[in-house]
Amino acid sequence: MKDKLLEIGVGLCLLVAVACDTGSAKNEDANLDSSAKKEKKEKKKDKNPASEGFAVNNNYDLLEVSKMGKKTVPESSGLEASGDGNFWTHPDAGNEAVLYKVNQSGELLETMNVQGAKNNDWEDVTRGEDGFLYIGDMGNNENTRKDLQILKVDEKAKKVVASIPFKYADQTEFPPTKGNLNFDVEGFLMHNNAFYLFTKNRGKGDWVKLYKVANQPGASQTVSPLDSVQISTKITAADVSPDGRHIALLGEGWVYLFSADSPEGVFKGTKEQIPLGKVGQAEGLVFVNDSDMMISNEAGRLFMLSLKK
């Protein structure tokens, strides 16, 4: 009898041990699944990682200030200050040759049908020291265009008064090979009567190239890259601060801020990146003073990026 009881006791212990092992295994599997999910989630969060060589600057606040009406301003692809303290924005390819004037509240104040213009693919707009607006008709998604140009617009007369055509010296194929699709530009600025263009790299390597185009209407200019830098997201807008000391490039989830004496040496100066968070497909950026910037996304939302006091 004692032997029988002993046998039953041993059997029960074995069953308990097996159950414990099974429970532990299940817990281990659950922990592994949890870790895998966490890792996957972190990878998703890291969609727009920080760029090497850039210090992350957390000294800015981002505030959504308004939204343009979809019916009045169907798309915002670039942003620039108007002569009366408001903002000009515009659509890109497939839309009319128009500029929309809006205030900080997103209200449409004026629609300018730009006489003598065609919107092949307008990607950015800037203002020169001469008071004219300059529209970058340089969108080149497929890297096949041979009619790239900058349009000089008289804001008061509401018409194109000159065209500045250009081409890239380092582009010999239209389109180039898949890895070399780096001839699209969505961000440019004007400084000291010259234009500085920053490429939106659709190829390999994350290299952003810098080109300089002289403010010379007439014959097409052939321009070579001045410099390049690796940035982990695609560049969609550019501007220079009023004091000329800072250049900002708009990327996916970041503003890249450079300190330099001149745009030619922009990539050699101090490099920082400011996190934006969720701003949608942001495509317009303009300095409103020497530190703060207004940003617009394609859907018409306006954000103010301000240096913390």
Cβ contacts of 303 within 8 Å, gap of 6 or more: 62, 63, 64, 65, 276, 279, 282, 294, 295, 296, 297
Q: CA–CA separation, 48 vs 39, rounded Å?
A: 16
- Please state, rounded to an integer, the average pLDDT across all residues of the chain: 90
Q: If we measure between CA atoms, which residue out of 300, 54, 282 comes closest to residue 186?
A: 282
DSSP sequence for 259-281: E-SSGGGGGGSEEEEEE--S--S
Q: What digits encode the pLDDT tens for the residues 122-156?
A: 999 999 999 999 999 999 999 999 999 999 999 99
Q: What digits encode the pLDDT tens for the residues 176-210?
A: 999 999 999 999 999 999 999 999 999 999 999 99
Q: What digits encode the pLDDT tens for the residues 223-248?
A: 999 999 999 999 999 999 999 999 99
Please give the distance of CA 124 from its chain centroid, rounded to a whole number.
12
